[in-house]
Amino acid sequence: MRARELLTDFPTVRLDSPVIDAARLLAEQDLPGLIVVDGGDSPVTILPGTQVLRLAVPGYCQDDPALARVVDEAHADAFLRELHGRTVRDALPRQPRELPVTDPEATVLELAALMARTHSPLVAVVDEHRRLIGAVTLQALLDRVLPA
């Protein structure tokens, strides 16, 4: 089985896209992350949903989750307003991560190894010009390789 057989269309965002729009896309389509592309539709990075959360959740709550317990719901909802006016670029980690990208001929084992090595629940699949043609998700991979 090859990547082309597990390929699915996948939503993309750009570095300058509003991060609140990315968060809505993640929530509405129940996605683990988004593929960030440049102007030529070549993948630049993967934006995991957890990175969007890191931008919205105050650092002191990330450092000590027990502190989050003392914040009431009304104030917790206010943290999401911190996403307004911010871009996808703002949500990305400071240190670039290895981009999980491959070609349509990658095997299931190659896909699994790439996901494991990059800690990514999706792999961008590109054509010979490095333009995005779709993605393989962890769910699609597991659905095909695990017995029913």
Opening angle at CA 112, ends 109 and 114, nearest 5: 110
Per-residue model confidence (pLDDT) at position 78: 64
Q: How far apart are the first and last CA of the chain?
A: 17
CB 146 within 8 A of CB 42: no
- pLDDT at residue 125, as a whole number: 96
pLDDT at 50: 77
pLDDT, residue 15, reads 93
pLDDT confidence of residue 59:
63
Q: Which regions of the chain are under pLDDT 70?
A: 55-65, 67-82, 147-148
Residue 32 in contact with residue 9, Cβ under 8 Å? no
What is the pLDDT at residue 146? Answer: 79
In this predicted structure, what is the pLDDT of residue 52? 74
89, 15 in Cβ contact below 8 A?
yes
Query: Tokens representing 140?
Result: 């699609």
Q: Residue 35: what pLDDT?
A: 93
Is the CB of residue 132 less than 8 Å from the CB of residue 124?
yes
